[in-house]
Amino acid sequence: MRTSVFPRRYVQGPGVLRQLGPELSKLGKEIFALVDKMVIDQITPFLDSLAPLSVTIRPFTGHCTHKTVEEIAAEALGSHATVLVAFGGGSVLDVGRSAAAAASMAFVSAPTVAASDAPCSGISIVYDDNGVMAGRLSLRNPDLVIVDTAVIVKAPVRFFAAGIGDGLATWYEADSCRRSHGPTISGTAGTLLAHAAAELCRDTILDRGRQAVRDCAAGLATPDVDAVGEATVLLSGIGFESGGLGAAHAIHNGLTMLPATARYMHGEKVAFGLLASLFLSPRPDSLRRELFSFCADVGLPVRLRDIGCDGADDAALATIAAKACQPGANIHNEPFPVTEEMVVTALRAADLYGAAYRAD
């Protein structure tokens, strides 16, 4: 059995938020807008132009917790909305997706950063009140994803680079699942379409990512930014959800166990997880050179210190490896057995290899 999941509709390009009214009207007339406080001044003009739609604006800051989801769902129902649209980064989108599901509303994902492949996903990460990951909810994929690249390039370029890091891992992990017959998030085998999307994601990122990062840093919504944005949001979203995850995300999960890594972004930790995974099995050195050089060029981590880790701290490396290799972890989707000792060795090898690409 094979499964693919998708958002119902995907719209992208510079200025597409000006088409928000016609897009939302296909789903309903009563709108509840959950907006990250960091971008509310930027987004409010688009919402003010939505007449004759009725819009309730709810500023948001914080994590996606069960309590927060319940509160937002209750507020959305109280507003008599039939559509919940979330504007912001991963936390706001997770809350919006979860609250829309709880309230049985249509959900619209409107990311204001391209920092991960989460906008197209049906997955929400839930945290406890201390900000520690408490679980994962498998929900319905968005009814609409709308990505305005003119908004994306106004965010710090670090967000865009992190999305590249997350997306770069997609094909390598999906390929591991294909070779090992490992399950996707849906619990089934991946589809040909998912693997094709993952491969196109990789090729687009490697071919156009360097220029896209330069353009994004300059605030320019160029064709390269548009192409790489589509790769990291749409292609990677389909590729990871319907192709499967592997060592890169497992090592990311291990890295999150160290408080010193908390200030680093999901995609930054996934990128180093991918680089470390290149040392779990024999790989051509040309591949290692290609990926380390690319990550260094776009500002992604290539050494442990780049994500707050001390490569000489044996206990820290053991903690990462233990989490990465726990029963049921994605690392067991690799087409060979992986042990904690192998992960520790791979982390050290990647750290040593990366030193040649960043000297400071």
pLDDT (tens digit per residue) in 268-281: 999 999 999 999 99
The conformation of residue 141, written as its DSSP 8-state character, comes to: P
What would the two tokens of residue 299 be?
Answer: 């500002």
Interatomic CA distance for residues 92 and 86, integer angstroms: 6
Say which of 226, 252, 306, 351 is annotated catalytic: 252
Residue 175 shares a structural domain with residue 143: no
Annotation marks residue 332 as catalytic: no
Phi, psi of 147, rounded to the nearest 5 degrees: -120, 105
Residue 3 lies in a domain: no
Catalytic residue among 166, 175, 215, 226: 166
Contact 246, 184 (CB under 8 A): no
Q: Catalytic site residue 252? A: yes
pLDDT per residue as tens digits for the range 208-258: 999 999 999 999 999 999 999 999 999 999 999 999 999 999 999 999 999
179 shares a domain with 90: no
Is the Cβ–Cβ distance between 233 and 119 less than 8 Å? yes
Q: Tell me which of 152, 175, 206 is where a domain ends.
A: 152
Whether residue 1 lies inside any domain: the answer is no
Closest to 142 in 3D by CA, of 108, 100, 96: 108
Tell me, yes or no, whether 111 and 15 share the same domain.
Answer: yes
**Where do we find the tokens 């980064």?**
89
Q: Where is pLDDT greater, at 254 or 126?
A: 254
Q: Residues 174, 144: one domain? A: no
Q: Which residue in the block uniquely carries the two structure tokens 């999941």?
A: 5
Under DSSP, is residue 144 helix (H, G, I), strand (E, B) or coil?
strand
Quickly state the pLDDT bin for 187 (edges 50, 70, 90): confident
In a domain, 2, yes or no: no
**Per annotation, catalytic residue among 36, 63, 175, 249:** 249
Give the lowest-confidence range in 109-113, 182-186, 344-348: 182-186
Calpha distance 93→299 (Å, rounded): 25
The answer to whether residues 89 and 129 belong to one domain is: yes
Query: Out of 33-37, 164-168, 241-245, 291-295, which region has the weakest mean confidence (pLDDT)?
Result: 241-245
Task: Give me the helices (H) in the chain, please.
Answer: 20-25, 40-48, 66-78, 90-102, 149-152, 157-180, 192-217, 223-230, 236-243, 247-255, 266-277, 285-297, 314-324, 340-354
Catalytic residue among 224, 226, 266, 351: 266
Cis-peptide, bond into residue 52, ω within 30° of zero: yes
Pair 109, 205 in one domain? no
**Backbone angles phi and psi of 213, in degrees to 5:** -65, -40
Q: For 166-173, what is the mean pLDDT?
A: 98
Does 359 reside within a domain?
no
Closest CA to 97 of 138, 40, 131, 36: 138
Which pLDDT does position 139 carry in this prediction?
Answer: 82
Contacts of 189 (CB under 8 A, 6+ apart): 1, 2, 3, 181, 183
- Do residues 349 and 293 share a domain? yes
Q: Which residues touch 22 (CB under 8 Å, ≥6 apart)?
A: none
- Residue 177 pLDDT grade (very low, low, confident, very high; cuts 50, 70, 90): very high
With bands split at pLDDT 50, 70 and 90, how would you rate the model's confidence at 135? Answer: confident
Assess whether pLDDT exceeds 70 at residue 133: no
Is position 195 annotated as part of the catalytic site?
no
Domain range for 168: 158-354
What is the SS3 assignment for 59? strand
Residues 145 and 165 in one domain: no
Rounded Cα distance between 324 and 309, Å, is 16
Cα–Cα distance for residue pair 113/319, rounded to 1 Å: 31
Q: What is the pLDDT of residue 132?
A: 64
For the stretch 85-99, pLDDT in tens is 999 998 999 999 999
Q: Let me know whether 170 and 314 are in one domain.
A: yes
CATH number at residue 25: 3.40.50.1970
Clarify whether 249 is annotated catalytic: yes
Domain finish residue from 117, 152, 187: 152
Q: Does one domain contain both 299 and 335?
A: yes
Number of compact structural domains in the chain: 2
Q: What is the mean pLDDT of residues 170-196?
A: 92
For residue 131, what pLDDT band results from cuts at 50, 70 and 90? low
Looking at the fold, whether 296 and 208 belong to one and the same domain comes out as: yes
Q: Are 266 and 252 in contact (CB under 8 A)?
A: yes
What is the pTM assigned to this prediction?
0.94
Residue 170: CATH number of its domain? 1.20.1090.10
For residue 123, pLDDT beyond 90: no
Give percent of the chain with pLDDT exceeding 70. 99
What is the percent of the chain with per-residue pLDDT over 90, rounded to a whole number?
83
Interstrand relation of 30-36 and 54-60 (parallel, antiparallel or unpaired): parallel
The amino acid at residue 147 is V
- What pLDDT was estimated at residue 130? 67
Residue that has been written with the tokens 């900000």 in this structure: 131
